[in-house]
Structure 1
Amino acid sequence: MKIGADNLYAEMQSMALKANQTIRPEISVESTQAVNPSTNQFGDLLSRAINNVNDLGHSAKEITNRFELGDTNVSLADVMIAKEKSSLAFEATVQVRNKVLEAYEKIMQMPV
Structure 2
Amino acid sequence: MSVGMIDTSRIEAMVAQLKAAAARATPGGANPVGEGALQAKPATGAVDFQSALKSSLDQVNEVQLQSKKLADRFEMGDPSVSLSDAMISLQKSSIAFQQTVQVRNKLVSAYQEIMNMGI
Helix, strand or coil: the match of 2:79?
A: coil
2:89 counterpart residue number: 82
1:40-67 C-alpha deviation (Å, 9 max, x unpaired): 1110010011111111111111100100
> Higher relative contact order at CA 8 Å, sep ≥6: structure 1 or structure 2?
1
Q: Deviation of residue 81 (structure 1)?
A: 1.2
Q: What is the TM-score when the length of structure 2 is the normalising length?
A: 0.66
1:111 corresponds to 2:115: no
Amino acid of the structure 1 residue aligned with 2:20: A
Q: What is the TM-score when the length of structure 1 is the normalising length?
A: 0.70
Counting helix residues as a fraction of each chain, which structure ranks higher? 1
Q: Number of residue pairs matched?
A: 91
Identity of aligned residues (%): 37
1:75-101 C-alpha deviation (Å, 9 max, x unpaired): 111101110110010000000000000
Runs of 4+ in 1 over 4 A off after TM superposition: none
Q: 1:70 to 1:4 in 2, by over 3 A?
A: farther
Where does 1:54-65 land on structure 2 (aligned, <5 Å)?
54-65=61-72
Where does 1:1-112 land on structure 2 (aligned, <5 Å)?
5=20, 7=23, 10=31, 14-15=34-35, 39-112=46-119
Amino acid of the structure 2 residue aligned with 1:10: N
Q: Deviation of residue 5 (structure 1)?
A: 2.6
CA distance in 1, matches of 2:106, 2:48: 19
Structure 2 residue runs of 5 or longer lacking an equivalent are 1-16, 25-29, 37-42
Q: 1:78 to 1:101 in 2, by over 3 A?
A: same
Larger C-alpha radius of gyration, 1 or 2? 1
Indicate conservation of the 8 Å contact 1:53/1:89, yes or no.
yes
